Each structure stands twice: as C-alpha cells, then as structure tokens.
Chain A
Amino acid sequence: MMWLSGGFIFRSGNSRFHRLDPRVKLLISILTFATALIARYIYEIGLVVAFILVVAAAATVLTRIARTMALTATFSAFIFVVNFLFTRNLESSSLYAFRFVAIVVSTSLFFVTTTPDELERVMKMFRLPRDVVFAFVTAVRFVPVMMLDALQIMDAQKSRGLELDKGNILRRARNMIPILIPLVVNAVVRSGELAEAMESRAYGASERPTSLVEYRAKRVDKVVALAAVVVFLLAAYSFYSLLAPIAL
C-alpha cells in the first residue's frame, strides 16, 4: 500500500502544469489512460509512457513519477507472469504488463499535481452530493493527522514492550492490532468533535452553499485542453484502432 500513497498524494509544487485548471489535468490523465488502453503494440505503450515522463519532467515531478513506475514494476511483473502462464503468449503478456504501468502512471500524474482543494472542485463539478465531497475532503485532510496519531501510538506501544518487527508475517500482522485499535478509537472520538464543529459552523444550513474562491478556466487551459484532444486523436488515428475492437 505504501507505493500507492507515495504516487498518489499531492505535494505542493508550482510548475506551469500544476497551475493548469484541474479539469484540464484530469482530461490529460484520462486521455493518456485511454491511449494506453487502445495501444496495440509495446512501442505504442512506450510512446505513452514517454509522453507522461516528458509532462512529468515539465511539471517537476519526474522523480516521484519514476518512483511510482519502479514500484508498479513488481505488480506489473506479477501480471506478466500470470498472463504468460495462461496464454503462453510472450507479446500479449508483456503488453498487459506495460499497459498496467502506463495506466498507473497516467493516473498518478493527475494526483501528484492536483491539490486536494482542486480535487474537491472537480468533484463538485461532477455534481457529486455535498456530503460525499465533504467526506472525501475530510478523509484527505486528516491523512497527515492520523499518520502522526499512528506514529505516537506506535511509540507508546513500543515503550510498553510491543515488538513491531519481530516474527513472521502473521505474527507481525497480529502485532499491528494494538496500534490499530487505539487509532480507530481516536478517529471515532475525533469524528464526534468534527461533527460538533461542523454543526457549530452551520454545515448543511443552506441548500445552496457558496464558495469563497471562483474558478474559471484561463485561455492557456483551453489551449492545452484542445492540444491534448488533438494529440489524442492523432495518436488514436496512428494506432488506427479507434474503430477496430481493442486488440488482445
């Protein structure tokens, strides 16, 4: 799970790519994702990955994306092995494995360059219910808080003699219980306090809540979005697979 959190959690950055409208970033992500899906040859996937890496370099998140890629490799190797065992087809198995990398990395590109704030905005644009959006916001907002909580609990339990990294996997998993229970209890208490604070600040008071910040797409956003679509269409055309059923 650690590789997931590394490649999907936003850390502040201020490149041109970061400053794009989140909708445009999402569009780019979806389009590269789609391109990876319709690609029929490994070199095509290679092109997609290369494209993502170039964008990542421009967005100054190359190292993080590269790390995500490296970490995805294990899973991707697994996909390769399973596929190969069943299909005995070297080409299709490696295509699946590479495609998986491309898909993960294209999604990761969106998440590492998009602030939780922007994510919230995107969710609102998709007209998700306010409660759902707020639940998401709270979950992300409290990730660092809960991580600190967990560290403190670990220290406390270690100081009482809990040996976290001893024994086989089963044993280690069992060792986590004394960490998890206080963590969950803390979270429940915290959620009660959050509920009180929300009530006290009129959460849900208005049918139509307003927003402090206004979001408007700038010209550069429109240009980049258009360019992304054009590139996608060109890629799709050159893979001449838009209308043909997806191979493999």
Chain B
Amino acid sequence: MILEIDGLNFRYPDAPKKAVDSFSLQVPESEIVVLAGASGCGKSTLLRAINGLIPHMYAGDYSGDVRVGGSSVKASSMRELAQRVGFLFQNPENQIFMFTVERDIAFGLENLGVPRQEMRRRVDEAIGLLGIGSLAQRAPYELSDGQKQRVALAGVLAMRPKLIILDEPTSLLDPKTALDFVDLVANLRKDVGATFLIVEHRLDLLVKVADRMVVMSSGRKVLDGSPSEVLMGDEADGFGVSIPAVSRVQKLLAKDGLAGVDRLYDAEEVAAIRQRERR
C-alpha cells in the first residue's frame, strides 16, 4: 500500500464541525484513484493531510493516522514529504516561481540541495516525460494555461514522488487540452509507475483511466469502488457527483435490460445498442 489512511479526523481551529471525519482509505501502488464530491466536502483538506501541509502548516484537531509509503505523515518532515508526495495545485500559475521553465522545474531539487549533475538529469527527464522541451527557456507569462499545467507537473515529477496528487487539474483547461492531460496522466502511470490521486469534477474525462472512485460527503467517505460500481449505483447522484451523460444513458438502458452495469460503456457502444433496438 502506498497510501494508508486510518480513521483520520481533522477540524480547523474554530470550525464548528470536522472537515475530515473518520476517513479511511487504502491505495495500492500505481492505481489511479479519482476523488469526487461536492464543493466543501473536505476533499481539499484530505489532500493536504496526505502531503503534510496538514498538520505541518495548518494546525487543528488532528487524530488518526496517514501513512505514505509506510511512514507516518505526521512524523515526517516536509523535506521528506516533498519527495514522497507530489502535489499539483488547482491553479498552475501559483506554483511556478522562477523566470524560466527549466529553472522552475528544478525549484524543488534546488531546495533539497541536489547536486547539479543529478538535478540536470532529473529536470531533463521530467521535461522529456511531459514533452515540453521546446518550452524549457520560456518565461511563465509566455505560456498558455495547458502549458503552465505541464510545467507545474514537471516540477512535481522532477522530485520523483511515489504518490502524485492532482487537485482539479482540468478546471482551467479547454476540453481538448483537458483530454490530452488525462491521456498524459495515463501514460505517466505507465512510464514512472506513480500512483495518482485525482480530485476532479469532470468525471467523463477520467472514467477511461480511473481504476477506482471514492466519493466524499461532509468529510466522510461515502462511496468507494470501481468507476462502474460508483457511477452505475443509485447513490452517487445524491452526493453531488456529476454522472457522465453516457453513463446515465447506459443506466437507463440497463433498467430495460439492454446494457450491463459491470463496466462503463463509451458513447459508441451506447449508440450501437440504441441502433440495434431501433431495428
């Protein structure tokens, strides 16, 4: 297990109720897990408890245990955690610090004091993985949103984390760029074997690549299963999860016994069933 969360509770100072409530989750290595739920359900807090910003940067009532790669987040330093857990924040603009792409990718490694040669190797590797060689000498303001996203992710990858958290990575991207980004994540999982925990509202983009879906509501874990289990079930709707249109149609077809619910169909399959029925 790369990530083990045991009965985590967290309450911000002066908050009336817990932001994360008796939350447990086990994630095996190189799985892609999608975390969904309405805004304010505690997703962001949970993510911060995994990469150590909670409790190291934000104080509050903390109980339970989070372990990444076997060691407790609470007992680890931010220095160790920065190398174990990569965090791609929602707005890439606010995580690019340097004036050139290349130097920004090196930012974390510079902070850790990694020797220059090793740093060069890792930066080039991250640039190669994301296919942003042509951007290496650009300034942040010369980049599009999609490019900024890749640069920020390269900075995360250069640290070679085992677990990578993506917080609503496509929220600022246009549909085509968003789709490319999802493909990129799938390829990265193959190439570097990292585990991904992705918070995302646009589930239609992710159903293809996700191994698992976890739904949160009021700080608790309410659903946990394969994408088909979660999306074909009856509960997801009630927790503010946007079920992809195709899956809705599949569900309706399943009611009439025209489709299965053991896996998610894509638009073509659903259309094929409709056509068959018409004839």
Q: Which residues of A contact B (CB under 8 A)?
A: 12, 115-117, 120, 134, 137-138, 140-141, 144-145, 190, 193-214
Contact = CB atoms under 8 A, between A and B. Distances in A.
Given A208-B113, A212-B103, A212-B110, A201 B123 contact: no
Contacts of B79: 202, 205-206
Given A201-B155, A206-B111, A209-B111, A117 B103 contact: yes
Given A202-B83, A209-B113, A212-B109, A197 B99 contact: no
Interface stretch (B17-25, B114-122, B245-253, B268-276): B114-122
Given A144-B141, A208-B113, A212-B109, A199 B53 contact: yes
Contact of B98 (A12, A141, A190, A208): A141
Contact of B116 (A144, A207, A212): A212
Contacts of A194: 94-95, 97
A145 B91 CA distance: 12
A137 B113 contact: no
Most buried by B among A145, A205, A208: A205
A140 B97 CA distance: 10
Given A211-B110, A212-B106, A138 B97 contact: yes
Contacts of A117: 98-100, 103
B265 interface: no
Given A145-B93, A200-B51, A214-B116, A116 B99 contact: yes
Contacts of A190: 94
Given A203-B111, A205-B112, A209-B111, A198 B97 contact: yes
B57 A206 contact: no
Contacts of B93: 145
Given A193-B94, A209-B113, A212-B116, 9 more contacts: A134-B97, A137-B98, A141-B99, A144-B141, A190-B94, A193-B91, A200-B95, A201-B107, A209-B110
A145 B148 CA distance: 13
Nearest to A204: B111
A137 B111 contact: no
B142 to A, nearest CB: 9
Given A196-B57, A197-B94, A201-B155, A141 B110 contact: no
Contacts of A134: 97
Nearest to A205: B79
B96 to A, nearest CB: 8
Contacts of A145: 93, 141
A206 B102 contact: no
Contact of A210 (B98, B100, B116, B141): B116
B70 to A, nearest CB: 20
A200 B94 contact: no
Contacts of B83: 202
Interface residues of B, number: 46
B108 interface: yes
Interface string B50-79: 011100110000000000000000000111
Contacts of A207: 113
A144 B57 CA distance: 29
Contacts of A197: 87, 89, 94-95, 97
Given A141-B140, A145-B93, A200 B87 contact: yes
B82 interface: yes
Contacts of A120: 99
B99 A202 contact: no
Contacts of B89: 193, 196-197, 200
Nearest to B152: A197
28 contacts: A116-B99, A117-B99, A117-B103, A120-B99, A137-B97, A137-B99, A141-B96, A141-B99, A141-B140, A145-B141, A193-B89, A193-B94, A194-B97, A197-B87, A199-B56, A199-B57, A200-B51, A200-B85, A202-B108, A202-B112, A205-B79, A205-B82, A205-B113, A206-B79, A206-B113, A209-B110, A210-B114, A210-B116
Interface string B19-63: 000000000000000000000000000001001110011000000
Given A196-B57, A196-B89, A200-B51, A206 B112 contact: yes
A140 B98 CA distance: 10
B3 interface: no
Given A144-B141, A199-B53, A202-B79, A213 B111 contact: no
Can you list the 5 inter-chain pairs with the closest CB atoms, starting with the nearest? A206-B113, A197-B95, A202-B82, A201-B108, A212-B106
Nearest to A145: B93
A201 B102 contact: no
Contact of B99 (A115, A201, A214): A115
B242 to A, nearest CB: 25
A203 B83 CA distance: 12
